[in-house]
Structure 1
Amino acid sequence: MTTFTFYGAVLLIHSVTSVMHTLKVFTTSSSQIAKLPEYWEATYVDGIQILQFDSNSRKTKAKLDWVNKITAKDPYFWEREYENNIANERVSKVNIEIAKERFNHTAGVHLIQRINGCEWDEETGEVDGWEHYSYDSEDFISFEPRTTRWIATQPQASMTKNKLDQNDGLNEYKKHSLTEICPFLLKNHVSNGRDFLMRTELPTVSLLQKTPSSPVTCHPTGFYPATSALFWRKDDKELHEYVESGKLLPNRDGTFQTTAHLKVEVTPDAEGEYECVFQLAGVKEAVVVKLDSRSILSNARIQGDSH
């Protein structure tokens, strides 16, 4: 049986907080990809998708019911959002042709992606914004609102950077959009969806191992919010050596999962020394899972139990 322990003040060094909110807009424009929309746009608040638009449906859709509350404070939101979607689609089609020209691409499958948005610290009131472009999954160019300057990340983007840096009107508008309009919308979304966005859901934590010689993986899944800390410790001290952290991944139900891999041999002595610790933002108690060979799920054990 997996042993769970809760500690009230277990890790002061892993203080996690949920006061930072984000609004991110992801857009993708493609060429010559069959059965997929040429343009796709999705909006996320605190890692949760709230809006979607694509060139096939040509409709701006709310992904969660509480998103519709925004019209109480912003009655023209849906009309403006749809107009922005159409304008973004038009600009994105132009951008992909420019990028193809910069790279001397005349045919084939190509993608141009944009990520823009802002963050708002609810505790301090500080805001920040960003806008990044990539071409065929490689960074291309980005906008820095603090300096109103563009940063080319590939030589092929230098000509685009030089042209955009000279467009003061566009750059001032982008700064205003990312540092004022975006935070305004973010605050409204957070206000409308606070009960949903500020909820806490503790994870199910499992210990996994492919083979007896493989690392032991600590796998929390089903937690919310995403802000969290996961690590292994030995004799109450956090381990950095022999530990590899995995990526934070979304689940389909709006919760999250992550992993931390411990590269040690599971011996009787090790079972009494190692623990996996998960700390969730907004929850004082950490979830602690002790290393126990009897509770590790592995291919070898599953195959053995089936005989």
Structure 2
Amino acid sequence: MVDFLMKNFNQSEGVHIFQGVGGCGLNKETETLTGFLKYGYDGEDFLELDLTQLKWIARREEALFVKQLWDMETQSLFFNADLVTNQCPYWLNGSLVGGQSTLLRTDNPSVSLLQKTPSSPVRCHATGFYPERFLMFWRKDGEEIHEGVAHGNVLTNQDITFQYYVDLDILSIPPQDWVRYDCVFQFTGGVDRIVIKLDKTLIKTNRGKNK
């Protein structure tokens, strides 16, 4: 529903409020459209648009004169009817579709291992995921670790997905122990996980993959 204040105006007896309210509804199952447009004066019903007969209904005696004038403005009648029965549902449907496409997005990330030099930390990098509710960490023997781990900042991609990384310092890890480590990405509250083993052959460098 869209509320709007049409105008405030002064008369000899003081300040009065002339207020309009219009809205529409869309039943997604039946595809039925509904709309309404009505005005109030000092908080009481004043005029309402009859969309079936395309005329104004006076809700109080003082509105009869305005009704007669507005009924003669046929262009305004057609404009108002089109506004609440065609334009408003169109905007509403567009907002619902756009909102659902955002709220229901579950873009999954691309997770990879990166390393600048053989002695640099191994970066577990995730990108292209949505929403921004996730867990990402390094594990050893299936348990989350914090020592030797550095977390990055969440960044936004151009398509409004996100990217994030977690670095692991490997200098104190013997090569034979690499198999005990892995990186985990999981959406908060989710069940599925993306797990990547700390494997030299999976690490991407400026020279490509390690061998």
The CA deviation at 1:190 is: 8.6
Higher strand share: 2
The structure-2 alpha-carbon separation of the partners of 1:303 and 1:243, relative to structure 1 and needing over 3 Å to count, comes to closer
Counterpart for residue 47 of structure 1? none
1:74 counterpart = 2:10: no
1:291 aligned residue: 198
Contact 1:246 1:258 in 2 (8 A): yes
Per-residue deviation, 1:284: 1.4
* TM-aligned CA deviation for residue 282 of structure 1: 5.4
| Structure 1 residue 264: Cα displacement | 1.4
2:2 aligned partner, one-letter code: D
Change (3 A) 1:253 1:297: same
> Could you tell me the TM-score, scaled by structure 1's length?
0.36
Amino acid at match of 2:145: L
Compared CA separation, residues 279 and 234, structure 1 to 2 (3 A): same
Indicate if the aligned counterparts of 2:182 and 2:196 stay in contact, CA closer than 8 A: yes
Identity rate of aligned residues, in percent?
Answer: 46
Structure 1 residues 175-223: Cα deviation after superposition (integer angstroms, max 9, x where no partner): xxxxxxxxxxxxxx89961342232111000100000000000000000
Q: Aligned-pair distance for 1:304?
A: 8.8
Equivalent position of 2:168 in the other structure: 262
Task: Tell me which amino acid in the other structure corresponds to 1:230.
Answer: M
Structure 1 pair 302–258 and aligned structure 2 pair: CA distance change class (3 A) = same
Q: Is the 8 A contact 2:125 2:165 kept in 1?
A: yes
Worse overlay, 209-218 or 270-279 = 270-279
* 208, 215, 223: which one aligns with 2:121: 215
In structure 1, the partner of 2:147 is: 241
- Tell me how far apart the structure 2 counterparts of residues 230 and 298 of structure 1 sit (CA, whole Å): 21
2: CA distance between counterparts of 1:74 and 1:260? 46
Partners of 1:289 and 1:224 lie apart in 2 by 19
CA shift in 2, pair 1:220/1:304, >3 Å: closer
Residue 198 (1) aligns with residue 104 (2): yes
Amino acid at match of 1:273: R
Aligned positions of 1:43-122 closer than 5 A: 73-74=1-2
**Gaps spanning 5+ residues in structure 1: where?**
1-72, 77-188
Q: Could you tell me how far 1:283 is from its partner in structure 2? A: 3.2
Contact residue 218 and residue 261 of structure 1 kept, 8 A: yes
- More contact order relative to length (CA 8 Å, sep ≥ 6): 1
The answer as to 2:209 corresponding to 1:281 is no
Structure 1 position 289, deviation (Å):
0.6
Larger Rg: 2
Correspondence 1:126-205 to 2 at 5 A: 193-205=99-111
Q: Given that residues 198 and 225 in structure 1 are in contact (C-alpha distance below 8 angstroms), is that contact kept between their aligned partners in structure 2?
A: no
- Structure 2 residue identity aligned to 1:242: G
How far off its partner does 1:255 sit? 0.5
1:278 maps to a residue whose letter is F
Which amino acid is the alignment partner of residue 297 of structure 1?
Answer: K
Task: Name the amino acid aligned to 1:202.
Answer: N
Instruction: Measure, in 2, the Cα distance between the counterparts of 1:216 and 1:304.
Output: 12
2:147 aligned counterpart, secondary structure = coil
5+ long unaligned stretches in structure 2: 5-94
> Deviation string for 1:119-146 (max 9, x for gaps)?
xxxxxxxxxxxxxxxxxxxxxxxxxxxx
Q: How far, CA to CA, are the matches of 1:195 and 1:212 in structure 2?
A: 42
Distance (whole Å) between structure 1 residues aligned to residue 163 and residue 119 of structure 2: 24
Distance in structure 2 (CA, Å) of the matches to 1:272 and 1:303: 18
Deviation, 1:280, is 1.2
Higher helix share: 1
Deviations 1:58-84 (A, max 9, x none): xxxxxxxxxxxxxxx3366xxxxxxxx
Query: What is the alpha-carbon distance in structure 1 between the residues aligned to residue 113 and residue 185 of structure 2?
Result: 13
Q: Structure 2 length as normaliser, TM-score? A: 0.51
Corresponding residue of 1:272: 179
